[in-house]
Amino acid sequence: MASKPERPTPTGSRWVYRGEFINLREDTVLLEGGGRRTSAIVEYPSSVCVVPLFLDGTVLLVRQFRKPAEEFLLEAPAGKMQLGEKPEAAALREMQEEIGHTAGRLDPLATFYTEPALCTQRIHVFLARDLKPARLTADDDEFIDVRTVAMDRVAGLIGDGSIRDAKSISALLLAMRFMGDN
């Protein structure tokens, strides 16, 4: 019978970069067999991702330019949580900023790490229903085009590469599964 692996013992940490949105540090750990490993870790705030669903089976998605990808992406509304903000409050705020709606009902679908080998970011995913218009001022650096898409077209848009943002793919597939169970 194999033994349960031990958690590596931290031996050091140093900041490589500290910024407004992200921090980068290198942590060194002592491994079970006596070796050492250094890992680069991106510290990024927890975030939310929302699938806003209307009664007619359509969802609101956003199309925006993403500089790291150097292209426009079709995504579910999402954003960083503010310090001390609850996931539900962040989801409602992001919806109001990005799509001009709020929700009477938020169903939590999942919480997951975006890239646990590299980054601390966790994303809380919600299905939003009972949508009502409610606008908050968008962030100064966001230029968003809101798109209405039939939920029964989403799997095809993922399959043909029209939707290729991982958090949005995960959120939309989770929402489809949830809708099928309810």
Same-domain pairing of 20 and 72 = no
Looking at per-residue pLDDT, the higher value among 94 and 5 belongs to 94
Question: Region 55-65: what's the mean pLDDT?
Answer: 96
With a cut of 90, say whether residue 34 has pLDDT above it.
no
pLDDT at 180: 84
Does a structural domain hold residue 66? yes
Same-domain pairing of 103 and 16 = no
Same-domain pairing of 17 and 64 = no
With a cut of 80, say whether residue 167 has pLDDT above it.
yes
Does a structural domain hold residue 1? no
Does a structural domain hold residue 144? yes
* Type of residue found at 130: D
With a cut of 90, say whether residue 5 has pLDDT above it.
no
Instruction: Name the pTM for this structure.
Output: 0.91
Mean of all residue pLDDT scores within the chain? 93
pLDDT digits (tens, 9 = 90+) for 109-126: 999 999 999 999 999 999
Same-domain pairing of 173 and 127 = yes
Does a structural domain hold residue 3? no
Same-domain pairing of 125 and 153 = yes
Residues 6+ positions from 101 with CB-CB distance below 8 Å? 52, 60, 95, 128, 131, 132, 133, 134
Same-domain pairing of 78 and 22 = no
> In which domain, by residue range, is 138 found?
47-181
With a cut of 80, say whether residue 138 has pLDDT above it.
no
Same-domain pairing of 24 and 95 = no
- How many domains are contained in the chain? 2
With a cut of 90, say whether residue 137 has pLDDT above it.
no
Range 110-146 burial, b when 16+ CB lie within 10 A, else e: eebebeeeebbbbbbbbbbbebeeeeeeeeeeeebee
Same-domain pairing of 82 and 169 = yes
What percent of the chain is predicted at pLDDT more than 90? 84
Does a structural domain hold residue 4? no
Same-domain pairing of 82 and 109 = yes
Q: Residue 51 to residues 4, 17, 126, 140, 158: CA-CA distances in angstroms?
A: 39, 33, 6, 23, 15
Same-domain pairing of 113 and 125 = yes
Q: CATH number of the domain that 54 lies in?
A: 3.90.79.10
- C-alpha to C-alpha distance for 95 and 110, rounded to whole angstroms: 18
Same-domain pairing of 113 and 160 = yes
pLDDT at 107: 98
